[in-house]
Chains A and B, each alone.
Chain A
Amino acid sequence: MKKDLILCGVGGQGILSIATVIGEAATAAGLCLKQAEVHGMSQRGGDVQSNLRLSTEPIWSDLIRKGGADLVISMEPMESLRYLPYLSADGVIVTGSTPLVNIPDYPAEEDLRAELESLPHVIVRDIDAIAREAGNPRGANMALLGMAAQAIGIVSAEQLRTAIATVFGRKGQAVVDANIKAFDCGLEAAKR
């Protein structure tokens, strides 16, 4: 079994933390993993993505082929559309709904929403609102991870919770609990 994921957003939105948690869960589960990250100049408010490949078999390429991704997990709606050519015909998009507008030619919000809704498998939720309701306004990325948990599949929600505890453990139990709460609220929101 294999799962190819593209994590994306805008530099500074915390996609690398999502990748770290999934990576930790996959490693603990004994899966093979390759994770290509973006460091450097693009991190300054530009578009960023990470190719995350998980498999029960050895993986060759660090990069995902066009048409090969099973899942796009995006912090931001326009960024979720950037990787459509990489998404397989039955691939899934899980994205936050709040636009981050830091460019002059950002598309109209209703056009974005319409294009997202026209795609076959899409889960769009307000991850900032979910994180606030969870009492963890800075936990939007963990809310998004919760929303994507079902689609990730190759590691379970419980394995992801354990990974959150490992990754954030050194920041104390309060941070771990807040992030798991945001994750669980995301998980529930995706079902609604």
Chain B
Amino acid sequence: MEKRLLLGDEAVALGAIHAGLSGVYAYPGTPSTEITEFIQANAKHIRSRWCTNEKTAMEAALGMSYAGKRALVCMKHVGMNVCADAFVNSAITGVKGGLVVLAADDPSMHSSQNEQDSRFYAKFAMIPVFEPGNQQEAYDMMADAFALSESLKVPVMLRIVTRLAHSRAAVTVGDGRAQNALSPAQESWVLLPGIARRKYLELICKQPAMQQASEESAYNKCVSLAGRPLDVTAPESTLGIVACGIGYNYVREVLDGEAEILKVSQYPLPEQKLLALARKCGSILVVEDGQPVVEEGVRRIIGDIAPVRGKLTGDLPRTGELDPDNVGKALGARQTPGLSPARNLSARPPQLCSGCGHRDVYAALNKVAEEYPDHRIFGDIGCYTLGALPPFKALSSCVDMGASITMAKGAADAGLFPAIAVIGDSTFTHSGMTGLLDAVNDKSNITVVISDNLTTAMTGGQDSAGTSKYEAICIGLGVEPEHVRVVVPLPKNMDEITRIIKEEIEYKGVSVIIPRRECIQVAARHARERKLQEEKK
């Protein structure tokens, strides 16, 4: 046993390594990125290279599970949308080696476009969820999640939120377990209707076992505050609290009265424990980070035994993450006033780095766009989304990975001209290629800018799946070679870049412009690494 100071993400990663993991499959996405990075840096014997997107990651992980080994697939919450087809059906095929799906939700949208709650996905797919409340649980639960996955033969979700993913604390870690041997599944995973109907029924039949696991789980524990024992004769006025994941920490931080608490960190909801809590309490407050998944469930389970408060009743905010202040308010805890807000304070939003190639791309696009007052530029997900903010204000949309190309296509189909898409290199291989094929097949009149900085920059500079392959991919998909143009985004090349953009806007068909210059953050890191290597020699 040793103590280590770990980020929540790192605790998840080390927990998986020690649980005998054979492969991690992931596409970078805040706040999940550091899990795969930790495994890459600390466990060379585990398969860990970045995947092209969350769907390829989920499917490859399922394949490793089929072969009998333990696999982990990691993503940010919106990645669940990308891999949803494979994810939902993996519950029906079932698993052989343990399969854990790590979904990192981002309440408050620190680095995301929505606050969707991955626990809905687990409920939809009818699989168990673990939701750690702290870094120690994040580590411990990984072994339990793999074991439960193998015993019930279903994938298991581990749901974390940004505050846990990116917070550090001491974790007591144990010894590792060996990897599983190769032992492929013997039964059929062919989801033809006849087999799928049988397997779906099998999944339904596993539900009571999942329920029982939750009822018996040590992670779903009752805590009686102020030292009072659990007592069915307690007065009806006692406050009951259902505290999920890290919500439990805020309750313990601020609560200064008596309460009966049910800490929920394993799903499906432990119905018997909830009913027992409701029967001895005058009212129930549900404290959960994300959407009111549990609040709805508690209402369903306890009926009118006790009134339920939470996000749906406005006792806790419907948007944004939990914090000790909003939980304290819901609990009527004492508040300590701080100082008054400052008078001399301005917002400081993130911005593109000084010297970044995306800046030159937007400068050129805006210059050309002046000649086309009806133009629209459809954006995508990455550092370059910041081109929507001043000083560029260049983008009209940013929706999901790859949507720039397909939205430009749809708008062009409707007659909009010029319809321009701006997409990063990594986003293009993640989800832009298929849309480009649609545009080629339809001979859509769009101009696609693949702003290639040779990395996945926004998440910290991970390898990009298509590096050095972009021209070949575009030509292979059918873009005419003379309309695949490569430029170097630097101020000194501005005349050439604007001329090429204009030429390709005027071309009535699909054209692709690839401004290519390495991300300056990654370039600086590469320079430091080279210097360090030379010093070693």
Contact = CB atoms under 8 A, between A and B. Distances in A.
Interface stretch (A38-46, A140-148, A176-184): A38-46
Interface of A: 10-11, 23-24, 27, 32-47, 59-69, 78-79, 81-82, 84-89, 91, 102-108, 111-112, 115, 119
12 contacts: A10-B348, A27-B3, A38-B110, A39-B166, A40-B111, A62-B163, A66-B337, A69-B338, A81-B344, A88-B338, A115-B342, A119-B339
Interface string B94-137: 00000000000000001100000000000000000000000000
Nearest to B111: A40
A85 B343 contact: no
Contacts, number: 162
Contact of B351 (A45, A65, A119): A45
Contact of B167 (A37, A45, A66, A84): A37
A61 B249 contact: yes
A27 B170 contact: yes
Contact of A115 (B252, B343, B390): B343
A109 to B, nearest CB: 10
Interface in B1-44: 3, 5, 7, 30-31, 33-34
Contacts of B344: 78, 81, 107-108, 111-112, 115
Contact of B342 (A63, A82, A105): A82
A46 B339 contact: no
Given A33-B5, A65-B254, A65-B324, A39 B31 contact: yes
Nearest to A85: B338
A62 B338 contact: no
A10 B349 CA distance: 10
Contacts of A24: 5
Q: Which of B253, B353, B386, B459 has most chain A Cβ within 10 Å?
A: B253
Interface residues of B, number: 51
B341 A33 contact: no
Nearest to A19: B168
A39 B246 CA distance: 19
Q: Which of A36, A40, A102, A111 has most chain B Cβ within 10 Å?
A: A40
A103 B163 contact: no
Given A10-B348, A67-B336, A42 B250 contact: no
Given A46-B348, A65-B336, A102-B348, 15 more contacts: A11-B350, A24-B5, A35-B167, A39-B33, A41-B383, A45-B351, A45-B353, A47-B347, A59-B169, A61-B253, A62-B164, A67-B338, A103-B347, A112-B344, A119-B339
Contacts of A36: 163, 166-168
A103 B460 CA distance: 23
Contact of B353 (A35, A44, A78): A44
Given A65-B325, A66-B325, A43 B168 contact: no
Contacts of A78: 344-346, 348
Instruction: Name B's interface SS.
Output: loop
B338 A41 contact: no
B533 interface: no
Nearest to B532: A171
A84 B163 contact: no
Contacts of B328: 65
B216 interface: no
Contacts of A34: 167-169
B186 interface: no
B342 A87 contact: no
Nearest to A45: B351
B340 interface: yes
A68 to B, nearest CB: 6
Q: Which of B323, B345, B460 has most chain A Cβ within 10 Å?
A: B345
A156 B347 CA distance: 35
B249 A66 contact: no
B338 A84 contact: yes
Nearest to A42: B350
Nearest to B349: A46
B46 interface: no
Contacts of B254: 61, 65
A61 to B, nearest CB: 4
B312 interface: no
B338 A81 contact: no
Contacts of A106: 346
B335 interface: yes
A88 B249 contact: no
A89 to B, nearest CB: 7
A40 B328 CA distance: 28
Kindly list the 9 A-B residue pairs having the minimum CB-CB distance in the complex, ordered from nearest: A46-B350, A81-B342, A67-B338, A40-B111, A40-B30, A67-B336, A107-B344, A61-B253, A44-B350
